[in-house]
Amino acid sequence: MRRRNARVVAVIVLVLASLGWAEGKKAAKASGGAPDKAHLQKIWDAWSTLDPANPAPFYASGPHVFFDIAPLKYSSWEEYQKGVVNVLADFKTAKLTVNDDAEIHPAGPIVWATATVKEDAVMKSGKREMGNFRWTVVFQKENGKWLIVHEHISVPAQ
């Protein structure tokens, strides 16, 4: 009797595991080529040019909230693109690299990701800035393209 119960439990576990695997495959397929680490790096390569027109194609237009290091908050990509020019004006060069801790999570119609990003920049004053900051980003598929609809960038407290 005990052996039979063990077999029944084993069969149930296998069935449930295979259903979970199938759901995972459906979610991955539904996310339709969700952003990967290479895609995340393309976004930061675009920001490394210090021209907000270059990362613009990665962002959804309209009312979306984007939290940056400075200033605190933008209420749309259009506001972000216009306002960040003042921040970028102090930079001479920037190299921004997504670290190996990037995690990407498809969640139905959205994909959210987290990573730390390495900064190696030279200011127009000649001062070199190096460090890491935190990045959380939410993508939503619009017209067949995964666009950023929310972003949060922060630095560790000093």
State pLDDT tens for residues 106-120: 998 999 999 999 999
| Comparison of pLDDT for 131 and 5, the residue scoring more | 131
| Comparison of pLDDT for 112 and 20, the residue scoring more | 112
Architecture of domain 33-154: Roll (3.10)
Give the angle subtended at the CA of 104 by the CAs of 122 and 44, to the nearest 5°: 20
Query: Which helix (H) or strand (E) is 26 found in, with range?
Result: helix 2-30
| Comparison of pLDDT for 87 and 2, the residue scoring more | 87
pTM value is 0.79
| Comparison of pLDDT for 17 and 126, the residue scoring more | 126
The lowest-confidence range among 3-7, 43-47, 109-113 is 3-7
